[in-house]
Amino acid sequence: MAGERLETVLDRLQTTKSIEELRAWVHELRDALGVAHVFYHTANLKGEQVGIFTYDIAWIRRYVVNNYSQYDPVVLGAARRFTPMDWKSLDWSTPQARRIMREARAAGVGNQGWSVPIWGPGGQLALFVVNDEADDDRWAAFTRARAKDLLVIGHLVHQHATRIVNQDTDVVAAELSPREKQALMQLSQGQARAEVAATLQISENTLRAYIDSARHKLGAMNVTHAVAIALARGIIVPHGELPKY
């Protein structure tokens, strides 16, 4: 994950306790990413629509009142897709799409966008979007450098919003297999990845896949963070300590 500031902001994500707090937090995320706008939306979290964004609220209201999501290439493009999308690759040729883009631009939305579709287990779609004003070359360089971060951040925001709506702030420990817990525990003791891999008798690349799975399941931004969460939640116990029964 690039940038100390971004790490600090993502760390702060975990401390937000309500959708309102998330709405304030997303402005910090925007600034840390150095873009014009960040937008997250899901149509169905416990039957609720949740929107977290830095767009002008007047633009969002106009968008909702006019039912623009029916024609918005960004929304239509995400249907049945799991690959991130550069807005340039979307079909803006319809009159409605061109009108949406024209009005969005007037409301301060930048000309470039990158959407990350996030699919829930039941087929629910959430969308994480980063938007900026940039020429094609600069945008290509930005998305190339940040594609991984944006995948991770989009899923983190979605996981956290889901936990808030479900009023469930605890990660389910059972999601982690004994092997994942053991890997995290050894890392928490300061062992190098090569040592951990050797102990578990797996390759370092396999360990990487296991650790990244654990990171994702714990809603962590990186491995250090995953270890911290696992320790804080009692999913793993510090070296030498007996589990508290």
- Binding residues (CB under 8 A) for another protein: these are 73, 76-77, 80-86, 88-93, 118-119, 121, 144, 146-152, 154-155, 175, 177-180, 200, 202-203, 205-206, 208-210, 212-213, 215-217
* In the complex, least distance from residue 179 CB atom to another protein, rounded to whole angstroms: 4
* In the complex, least distance from residue 77 CB atom to another protein, rounded to whole angstroms: 5
Q: Among residues 20 and 195, whose Cβ is nearest to another protein?
A: 195
Which residue in the block uniquely carries the two structure tokens 């797996």?
202
- Of 128, 237, 229, which Cα lies nearest the Cα of 182? 237
196 Cβ contact partners less than 8 Å away, ≥ 6 residues apart: 183, 186, 187, 207
Helix (H), strand (E) at residue 77: helix 73-78
Cα Rg of the chain, angstroms: 20
* In the complex, least distance from residue 215 CB atom to another protein, rounded to whole angstroms: 7
* In the complex, least distance from residue 147 CB atom to another protein, rounded to whole angstroms: 3
Q: Among residues 20 and 204, whose Cβ is nearest to another protein?
A: 204
DSSP reduced 3-state for 80:
coil
Structure tokens at 144: 């190339």
Q: Among residues 79 and 242, whose Cβ is nearest to another protein?
A: 79
Q: Among residues 59 and 119, whose Cβ is nearest to another protein?
A: 119
Burial 176-210 (b: 16+ CB within 10 A, else e): beeebbbbbbbbbeebeeeebbeeeebeeeebeeb
* In the complex, least distance from residue 31 CB atom to another protein, rounded to whole angstroms: 21
Q: Among residues 51 and 73, whose Cβ is nearest to another protein?
A: 73
